[in-house]
Structure 1
């Protein structure tokens, strides 16, 4: 799937897409946090996790993986995650403060440099895209700077999927939130899966009434896109959906080039393998989820277009995403 002629064109398109996406997503987050009165030192979301030690025996996990623990302590990133719950369970129109709500969150580690990701996914020669932080090691699984990313958010709608552990964790968190005076806030649970670790953990999250109001506005009006590149000056908008909420979260992590959020990590061979499988043989859950994400998120569109054209030229059929039945 090598293509000498596509490298420079793809690199330019990827760079333009990165810039446009990050401007939009950073504006959305800044506006949302100011509207909610949330700042990095705010306790509104952090207080739900200060009692993590008493949750560890219930979750059945000896130690919470560092990246996920850091993700769950970041109020900027919990806002789009909360938005996913609000949209998936229609919490704008139906409060569910007195019942457990659960969703599955699948996370992974992928290159923090989009050019590295494209080289691995497209099977390009070393340094084809030229800008990668580790292009000379493309495909070898060495010295890649990685970052945590969310690949999928799947609401649990079957009551039979609710375990006793879910109920215990939710009841404790509900009692704590009520004791703090936030009776109208939702308490939700996330089953977080990381494929390479072959493990999951359940963590609670508190969703405020203010966030529900903000998501309602976004749902009605959409996210305003930057108009810098539009000579007509017209404002265009993206719809507020679960998919765009995940894009916001992922783009915010990607924009943190100095790793102030501590969500960067060295990639391992298993992380590289998932990217390869997504392009060549997506049969595992992580590979299928990644391929779906690459096909869905705008930042990957240039490299996905190259992939789709090459696949169709080789097989005569456009690529499709296998259906996953997780729940």
Structure 2
């Protein structure tokens, strides 16, 4: 078989401590459900909020803002709205963003990212007067998100074989791609807060002041899914998040393939990788962040594989370059490493989160078999050179 006809086979490896680490860090599901109930929605076009007295009906598919309301706003905006409104979008990212912002742990790390982005943790960056102005200013960021397969092998197949590979039923999960502010590559008119954005911010600012957070920044965060769906949330950057950003304790990550521990300095990139890894570890949807993969979700991954240039594909490429889960290890490297370490620890079928069930017993090799495999690997490497 020539190299041009080579078929790549993707497998996933799971660290044996992953499930235990997830259970230790994840909040109870009822906390997330209670937090989702406290989230208020508003109309994109007129800024009208849903209240206890009047529950406005909201559409799930506006182009670049919170949501559209089924009222005169949708009728007036229909020429623009109908281009992006499709039954194929389904519930989309709305319930997922609710779950992210209602999750105390994930919300904390998003706040840490905002503190880093606007230097809220570094008193040396601004004078006292400038810092006070920033804390009271309507800050705005854009976070690209996507729904990706829970199994990394499925993601890599969509990316590598965009025109050949597909599965009808594919479980997906929310993932954070990139954070930008101001937003390069986006229309100039969308880089600054709109009148509706400012109205949302003012209400959030007033609520924060009433809660005693007068000297805390309120940031408008737009979670955008390939500009087909968008949710805007006002997030107050709390003192705990600022303290975490100041301490800057690194993340310690361990490879399931090599067993090597790596320390990653605290940054927006490492926070996003930690959040995404935590979501990926959620086998039983305890975080309420899983959803069926839609055609539009698969197409974003395929378009990156096809090298289609767009803001969404560039943001996804940033994520792939950033996160260790996408690192490809050659077969020779993995096999050679296995020889040095001995037989791998095999997870039971009930412990597996990704990939096919493993064999019941680990593979055993005597010394002669190991030497023969080493010679075969060396011959293969020489032929490739």
Aligned to 2:244: 214
Aligned to 1:272: 298
Question: Where do residues 61-210 of structure 1 align in structure 2 (5 Å cutoff)?
Answer: 61-62=67-68, 65-94=94-123, 95=131, 96-123=134-161, 139-156=165-182, 161-195=192-226, 198-210=228-240
4+ residue segments displaced more than 6 Å:
38-43, 157-160, 227-231
* Equivalent pair of 2:222/2:231 in contact (CA under 8 Å): yes
Aligned to 1:295: 321
**How many residue pairs were aligned?**
272
Shift in alpha-carbon separation, 1:98–1:21, aligned structure 2, 3 A: farther
Task: Measure how far apart 1:272 and its partner are.
Answer: 1.4
* Equivalent pair of 1:86/1:92 in contact (CA under 8 Å): yes
Give the whole-Å Cα distance in 1 for the aligned partners of 2:242 and 2:233.
Answer: 20
Q: Which moved more, 1:60-69 or 1:109-118?
A: 60-69
Structure 2 residues without counterparts, runs of 5 or longer? 48-64, 70-92, 124-130, 332-385
Shift in alpha-carbon separation, 1:67–1:226, aligned structure 2, 3 A: closer
Correspondence 1:263 to 2:294: no
Q: Which has the higher contact order (CA 8 A, sep 6+)?
A: 1
Q: Which moved more, 1:201-210 or 1:115-124?
A: 115-124
* Equivalent pair of 1:144/1:267 in contact (CA under 8 Å): yes
Higher helix share: 1
Q: Which moved more, 1:264-273 or 1:243-252?
A: 264-273
TM-score (norm 1): 0.70
* Equivalent pair of 2:158/2:166 in contact (CA under 8 Å): no
Give the whole-Å Cα distance in 1 for the aligned partners of 2:261 and 2:303.
Answer: 39
Shift in alpha-carbon separation, 1:229–1:140, aligned structure 2, 3 A: closer
TM-score (norm 2): 0.60
Q: Deviations over 1:129-176 (max 9, x none)?
A: xxxxxxxxx822511111111111112389971322222211111111
Task: Measure how far apart 1:207 and its partner are.
Answer: 1.6
Give the whole-Å Cα distance in 2 for the aligned partners of 1:275 and 1:101.
Answer: 30
Structure 1 residues without counterparts, runs of 5 or longer? 126-137, 307-327
Bigger Rg, structure 1 or 2: 2
